[in-house]
Chains A and B, each alone.
Chain A
Amino acid sequence: MKDFKLPNTNRRSFLKASGQLLISFHLFPLAFCSPKEAEELNTLYEGIPERAHQGKDIIDSWIRLDADGHVTVLTGKQELGQGIRTALMQIAAEELDVPFEICHIINGDTGQTANEGYTAGSNSVEGSGSAIRQAAAEARLYLLKEAAKEWGVSIDQLEVKDGVILGPEGKKISYWEILDGKFLEGNITGEAKIKSPEKHQIIGKTFQRAEILDMVQGKAHFVHDLRFPDMLHARVVHPPSYGSKLKSLDTDLISGMAGIEKVIVDGSFVAVVAKREYQAIKAWQKIKEICQWEKSEIKVMSDALFADMERNSNSPQEVEKHPNIKSVIDKATRSHQSIYRKPYHMHGSTGPGCAVAKWENQNLTVWSPTQGVYPLQNTLADLLGLEKEYIRCIGMPGSGCYGHNSADDVSAEAALIAKQLPGKHIRLQWMRGNEHQWEPYGSAMQIALEAGIDQEGKITAWKTQIWSDTHSTRPNGRAGHYISARHLENAFEFQKGGFSGGSYRNASPLYTIPDRKLLLHNYEGPLRTSALRGLGAYGNIFALESFIDELAVLAEIDPFEFRIKNLDNPRAIEVIKTLKSKCNWENRDQSGRVGYGLAFAQYKNSASYYAVLAEVHKSPKEGKFRLHKLTGVIDSGQCINPDGLKNQTEGGMIQSASWTIMEAVQYDANGVTSKDWNSYPIMRTNDVPEVEVHIINRPEEKPLGAGEAAQGPVAAAIVNALSSLLEKRVYELPLKEYFEV
């Protein structure tokens, strides 16, 4: 960075020249600064001035070179702990030929970034990454053309090193000197060629996670850590169960408590606002004690859930049609059928939902951990009857969400409260019970499979039936998707936006099966559901890859060989073969004390390829087992940040092991009883397995989404390992009774 010659334009004249107002919005002074640089240079980079998004076709909407010799990347996607900030900056730095260390990034903000919908479906690097890559290449080309024009040479005679363009006869000029504080107004034309992978210097190398230095020092980072002058603290009391109505609340008993600014009762929406956080919590406790509710009961209990699914589902949707699958299965040499079940699972974010909102002069600003700032803006407009132009949603890091958790609900509630206290910043944080009992869960599912195999062990026909509630009720413009909008006096009705494809995600086998049929029975279950990491893929792959293991046993073929035999996708086969050699399959422990389970899937049948081997050990305790190790192999195409990919995959493996072995949301007629970490235990360090991840990097291929690849296969691998030790098949999750946890 020292080599850069900066243009003479100083910051003030730059701002004047570009006609921008510097709205001082820097909540954390170093928030936009890569920490490494902040540490080493001890400089305070304040970030680029704000500028409204100018449209996706303009380079400047994705890449901005400021007057100070920095590069800022803009993305509509959110950092959720998956490490996209680092990966997206690597992509930009690579195409621009600038050092990674001078790059910064701004995540979703309706005031500044493109609308890229939700940060979901392992789609950020594939989606936003490709837009940023193209914009960066276009920026580089534009700057090269400018230099070529200036020097009267062809761009073929130019090279770029660390943001400095080098020409014939020792000529050099930096990007920043060329721009001299101007915006990159050029359009993304598609003319610029993307750098070929063999020239990559930054992509494919491990870079430090963008915020880790701040994190280990406990610096402000999360939406929870925002502090504004005279900010007020709010808490919300949710009803005891879905559909319960507020009968009475003596608000005088609350408003007289110390520090209370306001008690809000609107229908069955109850909130309290106080000067100090602890005062709000005390009032919240008191409200819980004295509130009278007309309770609504949950009708379908968990022991009757799967029977109810079969009885009360809609007539099935034929996702894959077949005129007579039954007869094809019956004609096979051998046939088999099984039914698998998974319970409701919780996102269970470590930190409860939190948002800050401010209502001022008919304008609303919300700082939110949402996965989508633009969908949030749309839905708040519906909720508040306000034109969306008057709403600004600024994405802030939250505690890891793994899908649609409380983030949108808490943001909407903060907005409802802020509307009643104009001019004040309102910080609303959910309590643990709010989070556990009111977040939308990953749906319980039942999957019935039936298949036939021929004499060679090739699968000839396959029938899938799925029973599931929806896997997406994201509030994409419809306020009724916010729980508290349903509790208001003028309540918004919840209208399910149809059942999405999430329920049959990965249900169709990647295996080469000529005849197949897939039926989906959509079901409206007793609990609130939405997107949880992988959606239906978790349950479907658990069933599919358990069933494949059963078929391998039936065919008397080694589980690796059976899968390879029934695949024709070379990348899928390579992932499985690589796993076989990495885990030294031929020399495995065959003493009978160790069980091994294999599983494979290509996420969504279109994203990352992933295979995993689970190793389960018999415990000295009779009839108990321990998950000893998970070894995974992943092919995500072109790997941007190897350690980031490993980290996220390891995390998915441990999280899935926790779901599979330990977790099921508990409830009774009076509501959800999984209200904290004792009543909904998850895996902790004493029980986590050793995890090992190997990457097959394919620099010549496009990058593939990876964040959800491990969820389903890990479940099946653990079940397959356990079943081999038990010498009987396990069909229902969780596996708690078998494990020493």
Chain B
Amino acid sequence: MKTISFQLNGKNQEIQVDPEEPLLYILRDEFELSGAKFGCGLQQCSACMVLVDDQAVPTCLSPCETFQGKNIETIEGLKQGNKLHPVQEAFVEEQAAQCGYCLNGMLISAVSLLRSNNNPSEEEIKEALNSIICRCGTHSRFIKAVKKVSSSNI
């Protein structure tokens, strides 16, 4: 067991864990955050993404100790007070969801993209969302939602 500390959704956290345990299980089982999901456990589908220092990264394989000292944001941390994040609002406006299992990866990747590039091209949006598996075929709505946020320049 080892002590790992990081910032999670704006709060400093310290936990005693098996340092090999991937962050995903700690988020879900220790912190009871349901947003990041298990999809493949192989870093192939991005259902488990979180923001680490503004970058969208998968959490299903990397040992939690590699997140020591990092600033982690999950989908639950995107909302500011009672106000949804503009990307969350755009997803609602475009009704960009079917079963919803991939939404975490889509939203986290979209936020990461827009933080580094607030006016991405359609190609850049597609590339940013390409690592996420969506089996319902809702892709065209995700692309539209991200476009909407970027054109409103937020």
Chain A positions within 8 Å of B, measured between CB atoms, are: 80-83, 206, 208-209, 211-213, 215-222, 224-225, 227, 258, 276-278, 281, 347-352, 397-400, 402, 429, 431-432, 643-644, 647-648, 650-655, 658, 676-678, 682-686, 688, 690-691
B40 & A432 in contact (Cβ 8 Å cutoff): yes
Starting from the known contacts A218-B74, A278-B18, A351-B38, 13 additional A-B residue pairs (CB-CB under 8 Å) come to A208-B92, A209-B97, A212-B91, A216-B103, A217-B79, A281-B25, A281-B41, A347-B135, A350-B133, A400-B99, A647-B138, A650-B140, A688-B139
Give the residue of A217, A432, A685, A688 whose beta carbon is less than 8 angstroms from that of B76: A217
Cβ-closest chain A residue relative to B35? A218
Residues from chain B with Cβ under 8 Å of A352 in the complex: 38-40
Residues from chain A with Cβ under 8 Å of B103 in the complex: 215-216, 218
B98 & A400 in contact (Cβ 8 Å cutoff): yes
B29 & A647 in contact (Cβ 8 Å cutoff): no
B139 & A685 in contact (Cβ 8 Å cutoff): yes
In the bound complex, CA of A281 to CA of B21 (Å):
10
Residues from chain A with Cβ under 8 Å of B47 in the complex: 350-351
In the bound complex, CA of A225 to CA of B103 (Å):
14
Residues from chain A with Cβ under 8 Å of B88 in the complex: 216-217
Give the residue of B75, B95, B97, B130 whose beta carbon is less than 8 angstroms from that of A685: B130
B130 & A218 in contact (Cβ 8 Å cutoff): no
Residues from chain A with Cβ under 8 Å of B132 in the complex: 684-685
Cβ-closest chain A residue relative to B28? A277
Q: Is B141 an interface residue (CB 8 A)?
A: yes
Cβ-closest chain A residue relative to B99? A81
In the bound complex, CA of A397 to CA of B103 (Å):
14
A-B contact pairs, 8 of them (CB 8 A): A218-B76, A219-B76, A278-B18, A278-B29, A350-B101, A648-B98, A654-B137, A676-B42
Q: Closest approach, in angstroms, between the C-beta of A682 and any C-beta of chain B?
A: 7
In the bound complex, CA of A240 to CA of B137 (Å):
31
Contacts A350-B135, A688-B139 given; indicate if A399 touches B101 (C-beta within 8 A): yes
Tell me the interface secondary structure of chain B in the complex: loop
Q: Closest approach, in angstroms, between the C-beta of B40 and any C-beta of chain A?
A: 4
Give the residue of B44, B140, B141 whose beta carbon is less than 8 angstroms from that of A677: B44
Q: Closest approach, in angstroms, between the C-beta of B34 and any C-beta of chain A?
A: 4
B33 & A684 in contact (Cβ 8 Å cutoff): no
Q: Closest approach, in angstroms, between the C-beta of B146 and any C-beta of chain A?
A: 10
In the bound complex, CA of A400 to CA of B130 (Å):
19
Contacts A350-B45, A686-B126 given; indicate if A212 touches B92 (C-beta within 8 A): yes
B100 & A215 in contact (Cβ 8 Å cutoff): yes
Q: Which 4 pairs, one residue from A and one from B, show the smallest C-beta to C-beta distance?
A: A218-B35, A81-B99, A654-B137, A400-B99
Give the residue of B28, B42, B91, B130 whose beta carbon is less than 8 angstroms from that of A432: B42
Q: Is B84 an interface residue (CB 8 A)?
A: yes
Q: Closest approach, in angstroms, between the C-beta of A434 and any C-beta of chain B?
A: 11
Chain B, range 29-85, C-beta contacts under 8 Å to A: 29, 32-42, 44-45, 47, 74-76, 78-79, 84
Q: Closest approach, in angstroms, between the C-beta of A699 and any C-beta of chain B?
A: 22
In the bound complex, CA of A655 to CA of B138 (Å):
9
In the bound complex, CA of A347 to CA of B99 (Å):
14
Q: Closest approach, in angstroms, between the C-beta of A439 and any C-beta of chain B?
A: 12
In the bound complex, CA of A80 to CA of B98 (Å):
8
In the bound complex, CA of A607 to CA of B40 (Å):
36
In the bound complex, CA of A658 to CA of B21 (Å):
34
A655 & B137 in contact (Cβ 8 Å cutoff): yes
Q: Closest approach, in angstroms, between the C-beta of B73 and any C-beta of chain A?
A: 11
A677 & B45 in contact (Cβ 8 Å cutoff): yes
Q: Closest approach, in angstroms, between the C-beta of A275 and any C-beta of chain B?
A: 10
Cβ-closest chain A residue relative to B135? A350
A213 & B92 in contact (Cβ 8 Å cutoff): yes
Q: Closest approach, in angstroms, between the C-beta of B50 and any C-beta of chain A?
A: 10
In the bound complex, CA of A130 to CA of B135 (Å):
29
Residues from chain B with Cβ under 8 Å of A651 in the complex: 98, 136-138
Cβ-closest chain B residue relative to A86? B95
Cβ-closest chain A residue relative to B33? A218
Q: Closest approach, in angstroms, between the C-beta of B3 and any C-beta of chain A?
A: 17
B100-118, CB under 8 A of A: which get 1 and which 0? 1111100100000000000
In the bound complex, CA of A80 to CA of B34 (Å):
19
Residues from chain A with Cβ under 8 Å of B38 in the complex: 224, 351-352, 429
Residues from chain A with Cβ under 8 Å of B25 in the complex: 276-278, 281
Give the residue of B29, B107, B141 whose beta carbon is less than 8 angstroms from that of A650: B141
B136 & A655 in contact (Cβ 8 Å cutoff): yes
In the bound complex, CA of A685 to CA of B115 (Å):
20
B75 & A653 in contact (Cβ 8 Å cutoff): no
A691 & B133 in contact (Cβ 8 Å cutoff): no
Give the residue of A221, A281, A431, A683 whose beta carbon is less than 8 angstroms from that of B100: A221
B135 & A219 in contact (Cβ 8 Å cutoff): no
Cβ-closest chain A residue relative to B102? A350
In the bound complex, CA of A281 to CA of B127 (Å):
32
Residues from chain B with Cβ under 8 Å of A684 in the complex: 129-134, 139
B39 & A350 in contact (Cβ 8 Å cutoff): yes
Contacts A213-B92, A350-B39 given; indicate if A652 touches B137 (C-beta within 8 A): yes
Residues from chain B with Cβ under 8 Å of A215 in the complex: 97, 100, 103
In the bound complex, CA of A81 to CA of B102 (Å):
12
Q: Closest approach, in angstroms, between the C-beta of A380 and any C-beta of chain B?
A: 24
In the bound complex, CA of A298 to CA of B133 (Å):
29
Cβ-closest chain B residue relative to A258? B18
Q: Closest approach, in angstroms, between the C-beta of B13 and any C-beta of chain A?
A: 17
In the bound complex, CA of A80 to CA of B101 (Å):
11
Residues from chain A with Cβ under 8 Å of B133 in the complex: 350, 677, 682, 684
Residues from chain B with Cβ under 8 Å of A276 in the complex: 25, 29
Cβ-closest chain B residue relative to A675? B42
In the bound complex, CA of A652 to CA of B138 (Å):
9
A278 & B40 in contact (Cβ 8 Å cutoff): no
Residues from chain A with Cβ under 8 Å of B127 in the complex: 685-686
Contacts A678-B44, A690-B140 given; indicate if A216 touches B36 (C-beta within 8 A): no
Residues from chain B with Cβ under 8 Å of A347 in the complex: 135
B42 & A348 in contact (Cβ 8 Å cutoff): no
A400 & B136 in contact (Cβ 8 Å cutoff): yes
Residues from chain B with Cβ under 8 Å of A400 in the complex: 98-99, 101, 135-136
In the bound complex, CA of A278 to CA of B42 (Å):
14
Q: Closest approach, in angstroms, between the C-beta of B88 and any C-beta of chain A?
A: 4
